[in-house]
Amino acid sequence: MNANRQAIANTKNGKLEGYIENDLFVFKGIPYAAQPVGDLRWMPPRPVKKWSGIRPAKEYGAISPQNPMPVQAPGMPDFSKELQDEGCLFLNIWTPGLDDARRPVIFWIHGGAFIIGAGTEPFLEGGKLVKRGDIVLVSINYRMGAFGFMNLKEITGGKIPANGNEGLLDQIAALEWVQDNIAAFGGNPDNVTVGGFSAGGMSIGDLLSMPLARGKFHKAINRSGSTNTVTTLDNAREMSEQFLKILNINRKDITALRALKTQQLLDAQALLGAVLREAKGALTPFMPVIDGHVIPDFPIEEIKKGSAKNVTVMAGNTLDELKISTGMDPAMRNLDDVGLLERLGRLLQADLVPKVVKVYREALKKRGSSGNPLDVMGTVSTDLMFRIPTIRLVEAQRDIGMPSYNYYFTYKSPAMGGILGAMHGLDNPLLFGQLDADFTGVGTEVENLALKIQDSCIAFVRTGDPSCKTIGKWPVYGKDRMTMIFDNNTRVEAAPYEAERRVWDGYDFKNTLPL
């Protein structure tokens, strides 16, 4: 640590003291809103009160309460040992300088199916992307699960006004904090890029459609998450009713609701999640809600109408987003064609199922797969949940005249003999420069791939165009569907995996429950 410089920044709420590490100024556990505890549970975020003196900002703040995932996938961060508390509205900053350089800002939103995760993901540590790009990185916590995405307004007659989008309102409050304060950390409030993975990318899909978010960011990087993970008001009401039934609480008993302990809410959420997985095969009971106000309509419909007409978008996916999740599901181990058709029949209109299976099986065989039911299910699920909604987002921005960029990450993890493929989240350590022998692999090829991902991201954050020296020209998606393929042989392809994409023509992707 360099003792010759002070890591002290002056925000509108008061002074903060961080620390210096790897020639970067690091600030952790900064409150960006009043903590939503006591009477503020389920309320929209409120401003932080000013403090006197210098507030320490050297340790992460508490993260949103969460249950562990039913299955811990390889490479997934483990948050079980971190401090959890409903008072979790903190952000973290890595910056090369506390000066007036007005560096571009990446505002990172973590993933986790809206029920797990935190802005303390291990791959953020070290600041390699920050140093390479001379940029400022901000990561945030936000309320999740029953704390941030449960609609109670409908069933309590407004006595608890939670619309089910409090977690998104937290994100907007953090963006407002950045607008007000990031200049004190060497950042440029007029050049903010929201970036996020999985539920973080899905959150960005919502932010692109939300009136309250307009003007608070300028570019967006959706990584493995689009606009489709939202639920209707009727479904949100049903989830809330089931939740209160598990807790044996009358909807009119507001006092009892407010008196619930954090663990009681987590336990009820786990029970409801288990019921939902059994009945519908879905991952979580809680997600953003189309309430008609915070989220006026299906996000993709709002985006088509121009809600994000001033935002340049870069969005993409990994080849095998759901391969490991499908493979690790005990119910899938003996999947046969009958089971495959039955499962897809729950997700798709009946006349589409045989066509989808035929097209995907043929495509998988051309790639060298056997095309067995498990592979077909995993690949169809990936496209249904991730790839096709991402393409629809890129197309929506293209069609209103905005530059938009698409990528596909096809590099395969060496872990477990390669069976993970290009799994969900494998690209995050490459983006942030945290390679390891087991999960990402090491060596010249993957290191070069990581630099290409980093440099194209840095270029996009700086200028809105991901073209750069290490990757060359990255064309806009356009009518030819130009797509950057990230692999050991990184290249641009026109309309990759086109047979699979075309099978979904005419299919509505307004929303998809998390699989």
Residues catalogued as catalytic:
198, 321, 424
Q: Calculate mean pLDDT across residues 499-505.
A: 95
Task: Kindly give, in sequence order, each residue whose CB lies less than 8 Å from that of residue 500, ignoring residues fewer than 6 positions away.
Answer: 359, 360, 363, 379, 383
Q: What is the pLDDT of residues 243-271, one digit of tens each?
A: 999 999 998 889 999 999 999 999 999 99
Residue-level pLDDT at 441: 94
Q: What is the pLDDT of residues 79-97, one digit of tens each?
A: 888 999 999 999 999 999 9
Look at the chain and count its residues.
Answer: 515
Residue 18 CA neighbour count, 13 Å, CB half: 25
Single-letter amino acid, residue 317: N
How high is the mean pLDDT of the chain?
A: 93
Q: What is the pLDDT of residues 425-448, one digit of tens each?
A: 999 999 999 999 999 999 999 999
The pLDDT of residue 2 is above 60 = no
Distance, in Å, from the CA atom of 410 to the CA atom of 75, rounded to the nearest integer, reads: 17
The pLDDT of residue 4 is above 50 = no
Instruction: Find tokens 């998606």 and name the residue.
Output: 477
> Domain segments of the chain: what residues?
8-169+227-290, 311-502
Instruction: Find tokens 């002074």 and name the residue.
Output: 15
Q: What is the pLDDT of residues 276-324, one digit of tens each?
A: 877 766 678 899 999 999 999 999 999 999 999 999 999 999 999 987 7
| Position 513 confidence tier, pLDDT thresholds 50, 70, 90 | low
Q: What is the pLDDT of residues 164-214, one digit of tens each?
A: 999 999 999 999 999 999 999 999 999 999 999 999 999 999 999 999 999
**What is the CATH architecture of 8-169+227-290?**
3-Layer(aba) Sandwich (3.40)
Instruction: Calculate helix-pair angle for 337-347, 353-366, nearest 10 degrees.
Output: 120
Residue-level pLDDT at 452: 98
Instruction: Find tokens 């995405």 and name the residue.
Output: 149
Q: What stretch of H or E contains 484?
A: strand 482-486
Q: What is the pLDDT of residues 55-81, one digit of tens each?
A: 999 999 999 999 987 666 666 778 888
Residue-level pLDDT at 350: 86
Residue-level pLDDT at 119: 97
Residues of the chain above pLDDT 70, percent: 96
Task: Kindly give, in sequence order, each residue whose CB lies less than 8 Å from that of residue 404, ignoring residues fewer than 6 positions away.
Answer: 312, 313, 314, 315, 394, 395, 397, 398, 476, 477
Residue-level pLDDT at 330: 67
| Position 5 confidence tier, pLDDT thresholds 50, 70, 90 | confident
**What is the CATH architecture of 311-502?**
3-Layer(aba) Sandwich (3.40)
Sign of the dihedral through C-alpha 269, 275, 278, 281: negative
Question: Same fold for the domain at 8-169+227-290 and the one at 311-502?
Answer: yes
Beta-bridge partners for 106: 137, 193
Q: What is the pLDDT of residues 333-387, one digit of tens each?
A: 788 999 899 889 888 888 899 999 999 999 999 988 888 998 999 999 999 999 9
The DSSP call for residue 387 is I
The angle at the Cα of 428, spanning 123 to 454, to the nearest 5 degrees, equals 95
